[in-house]
Chain A
Amino acid sequence: MEKLNKEDVHPKILEALLNTETDLTVDDTLENEMILNMGPQHPATHGVLRVLLRLDGETIIASVPELGYLHRGYEKMAENMSYHEFIPHTDRLDYLAPLSNNVAWVLAVEKLVGIEAPPRAQYIRMIVAELSRVASHLVAIGALAMDVGALTVFLWTLREREKILDIWDIICGARFTNSYTRIGGVANDAQPEALQKVKWFIDQFEENLEEAERLINTNRIFVERLDGIGVISKEDAIDLGLTGPSLRGSGVEFDLRRVTPYLFYNEMDFKIPVYTEGDSLARYFVRVDEARESIKIVRQVLDKMPAGETLLNQPKKVLPKKAEVYSKMEELIHDFMIVNFGINPPVGEVYSAIENPKGELGFYLVSKGEGRPWKCKIRSPSFINLQSIPHLVKGHMISDVVAIIGSLDPVMGEADK
């Protein structure tokens, strides 16, 4: 954290910081007002986020977050590559739950083209999406606890996450950024040993999560550092566009798996945890409860899983199986056409959103009939959740900024696209 001079700052940032209406009356005889820079390189800002704070002593009067330190140009690249080539890029958006983003992209393209994956592929996608939700919430809980001071919880939740990464290693072939889903299904089938390992994992997960929770749930330091910090009301939350656990911590029951169901979520039985206080502790509890509900969903999916194939049999739109490409002529020609010229969906546009662990991840695709999208917009939840930081930190101290950012759980790869 370094002191910033007033001449180096953009005039509009100065305006946002200094012209704020404040009804805070802090009795400060020394008149200690200064502008502090919580820079992009910081142990607790969850990535490269820069926050400029105007302080009166230690109380924050106004703040301006600045993004753009990880802007990689995804939307421009999507206009130059085919729909299949973009699948590995979607992994790196929300890099804590990569399979969830894969599912979102593939659902959007399938909606545009007008095809639907076979049932077994959809069930496998559900298992994989829920496990990635658990993995993302584990890191969120661990990082929040670490920011507040409890370092052991971070190591224990990461140990659980390593078990999930082992499962993905078996199913998808890669540990971390696995581009597993394909347009029309999934890349390869889930073997019985993988499903057995999933069953073993969910059987022993609940008590491990409880063990990690018992360290902090009744700990006075943890509760007092998060209780009443960063309160946002129901109307403000909807107006500022929050989605995901941050919105459900403020009392709004809005979950895209219930509101606009996709895959087979309308057949599953699960609760949506909602807490009404709207502070950081409520958002933390929402995440913990959501991890438990995800385990319930995985258990039901494992019971219902049908046998069948995992890739749709539509040769003009779906990449054929590799064994057939090497041996049959038709499949070879289709493979060549799809890889080089793309799948050519009809002219039109579509917006499709799913419930990411961080919020609502939406893809808006405009197609002109070619193999590449004419426009691809990524509606990323972390970008819009971060907009609420100036509203949340007003009136708190510097060390509360860390707790608030941790409870919002942003991921900069997604926010900066």
Chain B
Amino acid sequence: MIMDFKELIPQKIKENLANLNFEQSEYRDELTLYFDKKDIVKVCNFLKKDPVLEFLLCEDITAIDWARRKNRFTVVYHIFSLKNKFRLRLKADVDEEECSIDSVSSVWRTANWQEREVYDMYGIGFNNHPDLRRMYMPEEFEHYPLRKDFPLMGIPGSLTLPKKEE
């Protein structure tokens, strides 16, 4: 069953969404598809609504910082199909200059908080997100902690402490 899906999914995408160039790879029995960042909402809509594939559960949205000049970030989506018991990974590259990508919270409601967390940790903006603000760090914090140029111990003075009175 699972073997068929690894060929079925790219085939279906080629049939239904033409003019979309994508690549695929496989490692340790997991399929990964690479897309352009402007096509991501179309692909996610198709994958969710297709009656055979039915990827209803969006498990995880995160980003990787490669610390290189071109395409510094990659946004990674893990989606799961309950009907077919198959897990798929989607990736989209994001540049540092236009650090934003379309939001998929219109496709899966669970993407709301996950994208907020990516914004908080990496600084990647999400277009058409209903409520984009920081998740974990306080609002006044100016840096993005999980980027590779942020030191582990933090920048002194960026977070305040209450005063100690004896």
A residues at B contact (CB < 8 Å): 10, 12-13, 15-16, 67-68, 71, 73, 75-77, 80, 111-112, 114, 238-241, 243, 252, 254, 259-260, 348-351, 353, 360, 362, 364, 366, 374-375, 377, 379, 383-384, 387, 416-417
Contacts and interface: CB of A to CB of B under 8 A. Distances in A.
20 contacts: A13-B133, A67-B136, A68-B136, A68-B137, A71-B137, A75-B146, A76-B145, A76-B152, A77-B152, A112-B28, A241-B109, A252-B82, A254-B82, A259-B85, A348-B28, A351-B87, A353-B59, A364-B78, A387-B110, A416-B136
Nearest to A387: B113
Contacts of B64: 366, 374-375
Nearest to A65: B113
A375 B139 CA distance: 25
B108 A239 contact: yes
Nearest to A384: B110
A290 to B, nearest CB: 19
Contact of A67 (B89, B135, B152): B135
A351 B60 contact: yes
Contacts of B27: 348-350
Contacts of A348: 27-28
B112 interface: yes
Contacts of B28: 111-112, 114, 348, 350
B60 A364 contact: yes
A391 to B, nearest CB: 9
Contact of B76 (A238, A350, A364): A364
B121 interface: yes
Contacts of A76: 145-146, 150, 152
A10 B78 contact: no
A71 B131 contact: no
Nearest to A258: B85
B152 A80 contact: yes
A10 B139 contact: yes
Contacts of B135: 67-68
Interface of B: 27-28, 30, 32, 56-60, 62, 64-65, 76, 78, 82, 85, 87, 89, 108-110, 112-114, 117, 121, 131-139, 145-146, 150, 152
Contact of A351 (B30, B82, B114, B150): B30
B59 A379 contact: yes
Nearest to B89: A351
A263 to B, nearest CB: 17
Contacts of A238: 56-57, 82
A160 B55 CA distance: 41
Nearest to B85: A259
Nearest to A114: B28
A364 B152 contact: no
B61 to A, nearest CB: 9
A112 B110 CA distance: 27
| Those 3 A-B pairs whose CB atoms lie nearest each other, nearest first | A241-B110, A68-B136, A71-B136
Contacts of B145: 73, 76
Nearest to B113: A387
B110 A75 contact: no
Nearest to B147: A76
Nearest to B60: A379
Given A73-B145, A75-B121, A348-B28, A362 B152 contact: no
Given A350-B30, A384-B113, A241 B82 contact: no
Contacts of B32: 349
Nearest to A360: B59
A76 B152 CA distance: 7
Contacts of A259: 82, 85
A351 B152 contact: no
B78 A351 contact: yes
B12 to A, nearest CB: 21
A239 B32 CA distance: 22
Contacts of B134: 68
Contacts of A383: 113, 117
